[in-house]
Amino acid sequence: MATVRRVLGDKPGIAPGTKAAVLTALDVFGLDRPTKFRTAKDGLVGLVVPDLQNPIFPALVEAVSIGLVKRGLMTVLCTRTADGVSESNYIELLLRREVAGIVFIGGSYADAGPEYGRELREREIPMVLINAADETDGVARISVDDEAAAEQSLAHLVSLGHERIGLILGPEGHVPSARKLGAYVRRMRTAPDDQSWRELVVHVPFSMEGGGAAITRLLAQGVTGVVCASDALALGAVRTARRRGLRVPEDLSVVGFDDSTYMSVVEAPLTTIRQPVRAMGAAAVKLLDAQIGGQSPPAEELLLEPELIVRGSTAPCRRRPAEAG
C-alpha cells in the first residue's frame, strides 16, 4: 500500500517497472488514473466486436491483441451481451478510461450509432475499423477484398461446370455483402437489362439458421452451387440440403467465407475463402500505433487479398439445373 501511495503521489525514487505495474493494475481493475498519468501511451486499447460466436471475430481479436501487446499497449475486450450491454455502453466506459485507441471489428462501429461515432471523431480518438459494415470516411479502415472473394468463389464453381449459382448474403445494407453482390452481378448478368440474377440472391441474418432458410429458397430455383458470405451460412446451407436428401458435394456445391476454425474437419470439409487474419491484425496495429503517435488516419481503405481454399464441399456439376431441388 505504501508503494501504491508513493506511485500515485508521484514521489521520487520509484523504479520505472514498479510504477508501470501499479498504473497497469489501476487499468485492470477499472480505476481511474490520476490526471498526471493519463497519457495516450499509458491507456487501454478497446477491441469492440459484435459477438464471439462467429469464430472469425476471436481470431481477429487475437491477431490484433498480440501486436498491441508487443507495442506495450494493454487491450480490453468489449463484446455485446445477451442481457443488453451494447457497443454504445462500452464506448462510454472506454472514453472514461482515457483510452489510447479503439479497434472496431465487423459491424461494431456502425451498431454503436452515429452519435457515438461523431463523438469519437470529434475527440480525435485513434480508431481502426476492420471489415466495417458501412462506409465511413475519416476513419482508418481495413477490409478483406470482398469483390475478389466473390470472384474467386464464382470462378471456382464455374470451372466445375456450375451454371445456376446462388448467393447467400448478410442483411441488406451490409457493405461487405453489397460488395460481394456487385461482383456476383457482374459475373452472372448476361445483358445490361438482365434481372434474372435477383431470384438467385438471398439476404438473411448471419447464422446457420439463416443459411438453412436461404438454401431452401435457392434449391427451389434450381441451383447446383451456392456462394455464402460466411462459414456459418454455408454450414446452415449444408445441413438443410442434407435434411432434404441432397448430398454435398455430389448434388450441391457450397463455398463459404472466412475459413473459420474447424472448417477443414467438418463433414464435408468446407471449400471457403480465407481471410488474411494475421495480416489484417498487423495492419490494424500499425495504423492505430501511427495515430497514437500523432499521424492522421489514411483517407483510403486498405484492402487485403483473400485466398480460395478448396476442400470437399465442391465438386463438378453432375446435374442439369432443371433437375435441382
Q: What is the pLDDT of residues 170-201, one digit of tens each?
A: 999 999 999 999 999 999 988 888 888 999 99
How far lies 200's CA from each of 18, 68, 176, 214, 215, in Å? Answer: 62, 43, 18, 10, 10
Distance, CA of 104 to CA of 88 (rounded, Å): 12
Q: Identify any residues that bridge with 49 across adjacent strands, giving them in sequence order.
A: 79
Sequence spans of domains, the chain: 1-37, 38-144+277-305, 146-275+308-323
Q: Are 64 and 281 spatial neighbours (Cβ–Cβ below 8 Å)?
A: yes
Architecture label for domain 146-275+308-323: 3-Layer(aba) Sandwich (3.40)
Closest CA to 314 of 137, 152, 121, 160: 160
25 CA to centre of own chain: 31
Q: For residue range 130-171, list pLDDT tens digits in order.
A: 999 988 888 999 999 999 999 999 999 999 999 999 999 999
DSSP letter assigned to residue 250: T
Sequential DSSP letters for 48-116: EES-SSSTHHHHHHHHHHHHHHHTT-EEEEEE--TTS--HHHHHHHHHHTT-SEEEEETTHHHHH-HHH
pLDDT grade, residue 41 (50/70/90)? very low
The pLDDT value recorded for residue 39 is 53
Q: 38-144+277-305 and 146-275+308-323 share one CATH topology?
A: yes
Dump strand ranges (E) for 97-186.
101-105, 127-130, 140-144, 165-169
Domain 38-144+277-305 has CATH 3.40.50.2300: yes
Residue at 319: amino acid letter: R
Average predicted confidence (pLDDT) for the chain = 90
Place of cell 462506409: 135
